[in-house]
């Protein structure tokens, strides 16, 4: 039995958020952590498993189908998104004309809260939540090695039984990387080529807009042994020789004892590694200093809003003072800081978001990004917006995660949120152009490194044009 795990073709990122890739965007290809772990578990169990990342390899349907023919799997497991749902179904339809008996399995952040919709449209199975052992058990069941229908898998004719979260992450093999285009994975805010790993799963926070508590449920935070984490760091640094390693944890330093353990292990081994991560705004100054000592080059936080009332209502236990202290401490220790902001959150108004934009631009962070709040299926925010009648669209297939608002809040329409996003980005680009030219050169260097002269000419000109409008 041969299994193919894949990111489907099409201009969508299969990550925590449903994001469409635009031609004029700086290219960002996130490492498929969940599928890579599931592939490694299947291989460890002796199965003929393969992984293809159509997103990073920029494969269109025709390219993917040709790759599919060469591998010739019996089972296809891939991640779906709300906005790619119909496109993915069409791809499956085309593939099944080639292999009518193919077993199709959906997984990921979108499939988890919408298994019935996937099964109704023809998927044979849906993996709900963590896919590592659910994938493996499903294959064992189909192979006749497991008699009882596996937990964590939804299917017609079977009662769904949730699977408990993996308690000991150290028992998992490191994720599959050999079959993946490792040189293609990048993040514009990082320095050049980076390799991704995780030291924990989940997050103890429960922000109402976040897909993490939907995927992992709550409580869901678990950590790996710091020694095993540093073993993997050392291996990746030597094997791939990246510019930086990147921790794709939902919040690397939410448990300061865990983060400190990793840092102390790096220092103890006298390793000269460079790495980056996402942290909570409440991270202590002492830990940031230790992270710098252990080779950390930069950190990201999700500040989301500068309005205390908005932060309170969607469950973010941070303050404006926390955000300011974070940015100033990063500057003190020469850590690159990146801050994420969200417009159109529940209880926000046009005025409060204008104040957030002003606060964000005055904050001494190195870089920042603005996005629109999108209530994805399964989140507390989606249920709240639906109950209140704030959803502008009734079909989640029309969700566009990066630039389209689907919520009409009281006295704050979708159109106004989108206009404010455009305004915020232009103001940020102007600040970049006139006050942070080094950051522009940093991005241009990364583009050149990845895409050559074509990358510099094709993308930045459109970006620069928005900076001076």
Query: For the whole model, what pTM was predicted?
Result: 0.91
Task: Mark 274-310 as b/e (b = at least 16 C-beta within 10 Å).
Answer: bbbbbbbbbbeeebbbbbbebbbbbbbbbbbbbbeeb
Q: Does residue 108 sit in the same domain as residue 195?
A: no
Say what the pLDDT of residue 191 is.
81
Say what the pLDDT of residue 457 is.
43
Q: Is residue 177 part of a domain?
A: no
Q: Name the domain count of the chain.
A: 2
The domain of 10 spans: 2-154
Q: Does residue 324 sit in the same domain as residue 198?
A: yes
Say what the pLDDT of residue 133 is.
97
Q: Does residue 131 sit in the same domain as residue 218?
A: no
Q: Is residue 64 part of a domain?
A: yes
Query: Which residues are CB-contacts of 368 (< 8 A; sequence separation ≥ 6)?
Result: 338, 339, 340, 341, 360, 361, 428
pLDDT in tens, the chain (469 residues): 899 999 999 888 777 666 666 554 556 788 999 999 999 999 999 999 999 999 999 999 999 999 999 999 999 999 999 889 999 999 999 999 999 999 999 999 999 999 999 999 999 999 999 999 999 999 999 999 999 999 999 999 999 999 999 999 999 999 999 999 999 888 777 887 899 999 999 998 888 888 899 999 877 899 999 999 999 999 999 999 999 999 999 999 999 999 999 999 999 999 999 999 999 999 999 999 999 999 999 999 999 999 999 999 888 899 999 999 999 999 999 999 999 999 999 899 999 999 999 999 999 999 899 999 988 899 998 999 999 999 988 788 777 666 788 889 888 999 999 999 999 998 988 887 766 666 656 555 555 554 444 444 444 444 444 433 3
Q: Does residue 399 sit in the same domain as residue 343?
A: yes
Q: What is the CATH number of the domain that holds 80?
A: 3.40.50.280
Q: Does residue 323 sit in the same domain as residue 238?
A: yes
Q: Does residue 245 sit in the same domain as residue 391?
A: yes
CA dihedral over 357, 360, 361, 367, signed as positive or negative: negative
Answer for the pair 152, 126: CB distance below 8 angstroms, yes or no: no
Say what the pLDDT of residue 398 is.
75
Q: What is the CATH number of the domain that holds 233?
A: 3.20.20.70
Q: Does residue 353 sit in the same domain as residue 220?
A: yes
Say what the pLDDT of residue 190 is.
81
């Amino acid at each position: 039995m041969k299994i193919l795990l894949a990111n489907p073709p099409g201009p969508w990122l299969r990550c925590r958020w449903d994001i469409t890739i635009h031609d004029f965007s700086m290219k960002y290809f996130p490492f498929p952590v969940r599928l890579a772990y599931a592939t490694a578990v299947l291989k460890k169990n002796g199965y003929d498993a393969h992984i293809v990342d159509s997103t990073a390899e920029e494969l269109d349907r025709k390219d993917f189908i040709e790759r599919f023919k060469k591998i010739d799997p019996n089972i296809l497991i891939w991640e779906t998104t709300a906005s790619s749902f119909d496109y993915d179904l069409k791809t499956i339809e085309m593939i099944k004309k080639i292999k009518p008996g193919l077993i199709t399995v959906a997984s990921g952040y979108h499939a988890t809260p919408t298994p019935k919709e996937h099964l109704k449209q023809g998927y044979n199975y849906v993996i709900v939540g963590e896919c590592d052992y659910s994938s493996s058990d499903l294959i064992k069941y189909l192979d006749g090695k497991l008699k009882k229908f596996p937990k964590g898998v939804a299917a017609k004719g079977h009662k769904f039984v949730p699977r408990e979260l993996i308690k000991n992450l150290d028992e998992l093999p490191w994720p599959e990387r050999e079959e993946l285009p490792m040189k293609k994975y990048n993040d514009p805010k990082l320095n050049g080529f980076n390799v991704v790993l995780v030291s924990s799963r989940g997050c103890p926070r429960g922000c109402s807009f976040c897909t993490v508590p939907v995927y992992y449920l709550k409580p869901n935070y678990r950590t790996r042994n710091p020694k095993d984490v540093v073993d993997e760091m050392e291996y990746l640094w030597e094997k791939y020789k990246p510019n930086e390693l990147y921790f794709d944890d939902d919040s690397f330093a939410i448990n300061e004892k865990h983060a400190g353990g990793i840092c102390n292990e790096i220092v103890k081994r006298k390793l000269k590694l460079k790495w980056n991560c996402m942290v909570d705004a409440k991270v202590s100054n002492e830990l940031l200093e230790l992270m710098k000592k252990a080779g950390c080059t930069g950190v990201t936080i999700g500040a989301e809003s500068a309005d205390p009332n908005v932060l309170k209502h969607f469950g973010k236990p941070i303050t404006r003072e926390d955000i300011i202290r974070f940015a100033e401490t990063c500057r003190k220790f020469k850590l690159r800081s990146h801050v994420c902001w969200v417009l159109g959150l529940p209880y926000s108004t046009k005025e409060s978001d204008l104040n957030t934009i002003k606060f964000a631009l005055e904050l001494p962070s190195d870089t920042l990004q603005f996005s629109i709040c999108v209530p994805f299926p399964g989140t507390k925010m989606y249920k709240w917006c639906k109950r209140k009648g704030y959803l502008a669209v009734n079909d989640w297939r029309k969700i566009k995660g990066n630039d389209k608002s689907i919520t009409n809040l009281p006295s704050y329409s979708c159109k106004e949120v989108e206009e404010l996003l455009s305004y915020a980005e232009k103001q940020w680009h102007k600040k970049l152009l006139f006050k942070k030219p080094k950051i522009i050169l940093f991005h241009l260097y990364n583009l050149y490194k990845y895409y050559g002269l074509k990358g510099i000419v094709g993308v930045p000109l459109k970006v620069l044009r928005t900076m001076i409008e």
